[in-house]
Structure 1
């Protein structure tokens, strides 16, 4: 059952993220040029979060929410500020691109991705709490995203 959920989560994530880049322009919005600078800053921050988290995870990295058999709990570095810094970074990237493209469709998909990451991370955290007894305390003191 866990394997089916792993495949489901990865498949849905790929679909949502690929749909973001479909050339659909349903509704455009206009923002002042100054918002682009904020979007670039969000993009850089998102990239930093993803890269730092990937580096810290290294051999424990997996697209699946289930932890590796030989994994350990990482609660230091960027994981001290977010339990899911890769999801957080991806959300910042998608939000920044939504602002830069100025398309409602992309903003809606970013919101869908946020809800999806909430669902996926809830599943993942249940597995982490079962594997690591100390995860419950970590979860209390560290925000999800």
Structure 2
């Protein structure tokens, strides 16, 4: 039932390892670093991750509960809203999105003038929307893991960008990571929502698997604790 985790997690590993362009370039030169990053990201990471998502979506599983037309409508609205920055961010960066190089220039215009990671921010919104649209245990787990992965991937890429672009440290000070400044000001009192939602959803998944309610909560707490720490890092550094 959960075989989709194999390509999904392997895809995460390959895509995550692609965020070391600077290290690859030091060992194999500028062109070698670009090639290594492209192979890990485009030929291995993204295809395997996408295949895992397809398997999770198609997995035969009972819908946990039906949110009705309104709930699904809101979910699709989030998907559409998140797709906009994903597409716009890719168009703005062009080939640099999938073939980063030591020679890349800092992008600080358009969407990137307001947030450092519009593509990942849009991806987070998409998965928050898709979870209620297809509310099965496999897809819910895949969505939670994807949300955690996007957060981690953004941090890994920033470590690499700091090595490739000297001006990136000043850019990090000026521009927030995932939410525009006005949104950060509005939501600064509600940063606990994301980890709390993750804890509730993970508890629900374990409960469906057959755990008791208390055991489900404890297991979910152990699973979600790392994501809570990551979310704390995101909010503190933004």
Q: TM-score range by the shorter chain?
A: 0.7 to 0.9
The alignment status of 1:58 with 2:58, answered yes or no, reads no
CA deviations 1:68-107 (Å, max 9, x no partner) are 2331111221112332222222232233222211223212
Structure 1 unaligned blocks of 5 or more? none
The alignment status of 1:29 with 2:69, answered yes or no, reads no
Decide which structure has the larger Cα Rg and report it: 2
Cα separation, 2, equivalents of 1:81 and 1:106 = 31
Q: How many residues align?
A: 142
The alignment status of 1:106 with 2:139, answered yes or no, reads yes
Question: Quick check: 7-16 or 18-27, which moved more?
Answer: 7-16
Structure 2 unaligned blocks of 5 or more? 1-22, 25-32, 179-238
State the 1:5 CA deviation. Answer: 7.8
Aligned counterpart, 1:15: 48
Aligned counterpart, 1:120: 153
Cα separation, 2, equivalents of 1:32 and 1:75 = 41
Cα separation, 2, equivalents of 1:87 and 1:12 = 16
Higher RCO (C-alpha 8 Å, min separation 6): 1
Cα separation, 1, equivalents of 2:78 and 2:177 = 18
More helix per residue: 2
Aligned counterpart, 2:117: 84
- Give the structure-2-normalised TM-score: 0.51
Do the aligned residues in 1 keep the contact of 2:120 with 2:151 (CA within 8 Å)? no
Alpha-carbon RMSD: 2.5
The alignment status of 1:69 with 2:102, answered yes or no, reads yes
Q: 1:9 to 1:122 in 2, by over 3 A?
A: farther
Aligned residue among 29, 36, 39 for 2:75:
39
Aligned residue among 156, 160, 167 for 1:134:
167
